Structures are given as C-alpha cells and as structure tokens.
Amino acid sequence: MTILPSKQTSSTTKISHSQSMPPFISLLPSLPPSDKPAIHPPRMPSSPSSSSSERPKQRTLDEKTEIVALNMIILQPKEPDGYLLAGKLYEKQQRYTAARAIYAHSRYLIPPTHERYDELQLRLKRIDMKRASFVQLLPYDVTRIIFSQLTSNELLECANVTLSWNFFILQWPEFWDRLIDGGYNMIPAMAHSFLDVGEKEEERRRLCIQSMENTMTPRAPMRMSNTLVSSMLKFVTAPGACSIREIHFERVILQREHIDLLVEGVQSRNAKIERLSLYYVDLGSESYALMILLGRCSQLKHFSFNESRRVEAYGRMHKRGSYIVPYIGYRMHSDGIPYHTTCLPPLIFRWVILTLKAQCFPTL
C-alpha cells in the first residue's frame, strides 16, 4: 500500500503525526515522489463474501517504525540530495548551525567531481557569510594590522569567509594596492569575493563601487575615501582585471581625478569594460563628466546614469520630478554607439549634446 495523503473516500490512510510520530518528524521534508519507497503490508487471504466490504487495516508497530526510519534518514543523509534536503530544511527553520554542520559534513563524503559538490559548498559559504567575526569587535587599526600580515591570495580567500571580512577588505585601500603592485591575475574562484558575477560569468563580470554607510538618506551620495576610490579605479587598468566587463557606481562622490582615472581604465588595453552605470552619484561638474565619458569611451555598449543629489534638487525646484530620456543615440563615430541615459534633466542633456556637437563638428 503506497503512502498517500489520507482522505475519507480513499482506500489508503496516513499515519497521524500527533498520534504515532515524534513532534519533530512533522518538520522534516519528505523525500521526492520518485524516491518514496512503497510499503506493501502482507495481504491476508480474504473470502469472496467479505472482499467487497473490506476496509484498510491499521498499520502495525513495525510499519510505523519503518515510516519514522525513512524520515530519520534525512537527519543523517548519505547521498548528496539528502544533504541538500536536510540543509534547506534547517535554513528554512533558521537553524543555521545545524545547516552548516550538514553542509560541512558533506565535504568529507562527497567527491569534488560530483555535480552537487559546488552547490553544497556554495550554501556552506552563504551561511558562513552571515556569521559575525572579530572584525566587528576590534578597532580598525588592530584589524588592519592583522590583515596586513596576509598575502594577496590570502586576502582574497578571507574576503570569501564572512560578510564582515568581505566588507572590511574591500573598503581597505591596501587590498587594492596589493592587487595592482603584484599584478594579480584574477581567477574565477577568487573573483566572487569582490565581483558581482552573473549567470554567464565568463561573459560578464561586475565591479560594484558603492557606499553602504548612509542609512538615514539612502539616495544621498556619500564621500568615500579618495584613496579607496582611486585604488579601485587604478585596479581596473591592472593586467589582472582583464575579466571585468561592467563597473557600477552607487551613492558615491566622484571628483574630476576619479573621472579621469575611470576614462583611463575604460580605454586601457588591459581592460574590456563594456558597461558603465552610475546610480545616485555626485559627479561634481556633471557636464564635464558626461562629456568626457560619452566622448572618449566609445567602446562602451551600455551607459546608464541615474539621478544624483543635484538632479533631484533640479526636479524639486520645477516640481516635475525626474525626467527620463531613454536611448540617447548620438553618432560620434562611424559605427555609432547607443547610450542609455535615464533621469537626466533636459537642460543638462541639451548642454552636453551641444557641447559634443561643437567639438565634433566645429564648422556647424
């Protein structure tokens, strides 16, 4: 008799959790339908007179024990799918310690060549990234001394341990300076520490430079350390950064020296940057920045610019909010590059276009 949900009109029944199973069994995930073993109790010979009115009998103690044992397998899995099922269950219940124990134990029993190995390791990493560390407790100078003893490769490995470690290392200028000085060649296994890798990581890699400190006014740009921003932008031109495909700025203040470094990085022979986006970024002189970016970065396939603090003030002054100018197409070169610019006030936009036309076609 196959185990099915109990119904009044069904010829099969299901053991009630409150009557026959311990309370924790009801919290366990069931095996996939294809993996559920069918339990067939021994059939008793029945007479023809009683076959039509025969009712399903109650399961014996041995049958109930067998059902409990099937569910207990998930607590001590032996196969990769079992580890995933058990780990996902504990994560859903926010029992991260138990989930981590399951994923960590799987490393010793599942070979690295197995198709589920990477998924298990990724889930283990996500749990570790949620846990606190000494970085949140020690002073900045003490933490800096600790990490300064490590090599570039070791720093990249540490950036994959926890969120607090990751945040500190990526906000530490010396980390970027070491990558530049050492000519580090960025490999896919380590790129996850500071690159937002998409589904097709071999085609698109995203370097995100943003400030996470401003929690009161999330749309207001924050002044990051000039040394930090400069070190990040210099890394773009380093030989090891050749796999970066996109740079994303969010809630930062970029000065003219940063714009020049950004243009230099995009134009560098070592770089293969195709996409550039700026969200809530204060560019200082927006006309100069946009003119330089649109005029000299001809290899960009996508350019996105969202409203900054100055643009928001312009919209509030005219009580019309933000303006949207989608798909600005301007042929500066023979092939033409379509730039996607959003939330740009028409006044500044027209000034940029007129300036670009004056430079490219001075006789017009």
Q: Where do we find the tokens 């607590």?
A: 75
Identity at 193, one-letter amino acid code: S
pLDDT of 32-82, one tens digit each? 444 444 444 445 555 554 444 455 556 676 666 555 545 555 556 667 777
Q: What percent of the chain has pLDDT over 90?
A: 0
The total of other beta-carbon atoms located within 10 Å of residue 78's CB is: 9
Comparing 265 with 190, which gets the higher pLDDT? Answer: 265
Containing 191, the helix (H) or strand (E) segment is helix 188-191
Q: Given this model, what pLDDT does residue 192 score?
A: 55
pLDDT of 5-24, one tens digit each? 444 444 444 444 444 443 33
Q: Given this model, what pLDDT does residue 229 score?
A: 74
In the predicted structure, residue 145 carries a pLDDT above the cut 70:
yes
Residue 26 gets which letter from DSSP? G
Residue 51 gets which letter from DSSP? S
The total of other beta-carbon atoms located within 10 Å of residue 232's CB is: 26
Q: Which residues of 297-327 are buried (b: 16+ CB within 10 A; e: fewer)?
A: beebeebebbbbbebbebeeeeeeeebeeee
pLDDT of 159-175, one tens digit each? 767 767 777 887 787 88
List the alpha helices (DSSP H) in 32-172. 61-72, 80-92, 96-106, 117-129, 140-148, 152-158, 163-170
Q: Summarize the confidence of residues 303-324 as an average pLDDT.
A: 48
Q: Summarize the confidence of residues 223-248 as an average pLDDT.
A: 68
In the predicted structure, residue 4 carries a pLDDT above the cut 50:
no
Comparing 321 with 105, which gets the higher pLDDT? Answer: 105
Residues paired with 305 in a beta bridge:
278
